[in-house]
Amino acid sequence: MILATRFVPLNVDSKNPDHVESLWQWTDETVIPAEQRRMLLENGIRVGRVTESGRFESKLTELSQPTSTDEVTEFLVKADVASENPAGKDRIPLRMGKRYEFPVRLPVEGALTPLVRYDDQVIGRSLDEPQFLFAMTANRGKSSREIELQLVPEIQHGAMRQRWTSSDSALRIDTRRDAWTLDPLHFSLTGGENDVFVIGETLPRRGLGRLMLSGEDAGRVEQQMVLVLSFQDIPSPVDNL
């Protein structure tokens, strides 16, 4: 299958923070079970399935950051160094049952101490050069044309390390950073062809959601990001034979 992804920067209006709230009226947030939804909201993450695509897209366009006319900023954008956040669209081929890592912002310079809330506990770790991402795994849903996409927030940090890993055929050296995998905050998106989902921040903005889905552009203006995901080209079981 293909996962179509889109990062959309939104205006952050300190005088009218509720203006982004209107985007969510065209989504169904109950696709996430109540207890899991509560934990995500406590950590500043909001998830929903788009129910009115035309109205959702219209509101998303209205809330989007205006394109800067500054020549230096435009050059930096083309050089892919203007913003701390990814931008634009992508199409990611996913194989059933295989883990993929999907970064949602560039590594943060220096040390940072993210705080995560699990029920009545608040846990923090001091991390060097942290990078926020979702670990993703796609599996078949209950029907042959349905996909269940599992997402787990993860923070990779520190220096690259080499480790021996084994497979069915041989040992090999795997080079990667340490990771803080936030398993209690996992969630699943289940849908069919062309279904659209959105991941964004809560209001007020806080916690992990703010760290994962915001950053500064070239003009040091804070951006609030919305991640839009769409399931496309879902193969039938016959296609896998």
Convert the pLDDT of each residue in 76-109 to its tens digit: 555 555 566 677 899 999 999 999 999 999 999 9
Q: What are the φ/ψ torsions at residue 128 (nearest 5 degrees)? A: -95, 130
| Residue 203's pLDDT band (cuts 50, 70, 90) | confident
**Buried (b) or exposed (e) across 191-218, using 16+ Cβ within 10 A?**
beeebbbbbbbbeebbbbbbbbbbbebb
Q: Note the pLDDT of residue 10.
A: 87
Convert the pLDDT of each residue in 62-83 to its tens digit: 888 664 545 555 555 555 555 6
- How far is 29 from 22, CA to CA, in rounded Å? 14
Beta partners for residue 188, in sequence order: 150
Q: With contact defined as beta carbons under 8 Å apart, do 230 and 100 qualify?
A: no
- How far is 24 from 226, CA to CA, in rounded Å? 11
- How far is 176 from 186, CA to CA, in rounded Å? 22
What is the pTM (predicted TM-score) of this model?
A: 0.86
State percent of the chain over pLDDT 90: 63
Q: What are the φ/ψ torsions at residue 85 (nearest 5 degrees)? A: -105, 150
Convert the pLDDT of each residue in 116-161 to its tens digit: 999 889 999 999 999 999 999 999 998 888 999 999 999 999 987 7
32-53 mean pLDDT: 98
Convert the pLDDT of each residue in 223-239 to its tens digit: 889 999 999 999 887 66
- How far is 95 from 105, CA to CA, in rounded Å? 24
171: pLDDT strictly greater than 80: no
Q: Note the pLDDT of residue 83.
A: 62
| Residue 192's pLDDT band (cuts 50, 70, 90) | very high
- Of 210, 153, 198, nearest to 59 by C-alpha is 198
Structure tokens at 112: 């940072």
How many other CB atoms sit within 10 Å of the CB of residue 111?
11
Every domain of the chain and the residues it spans: 2-235
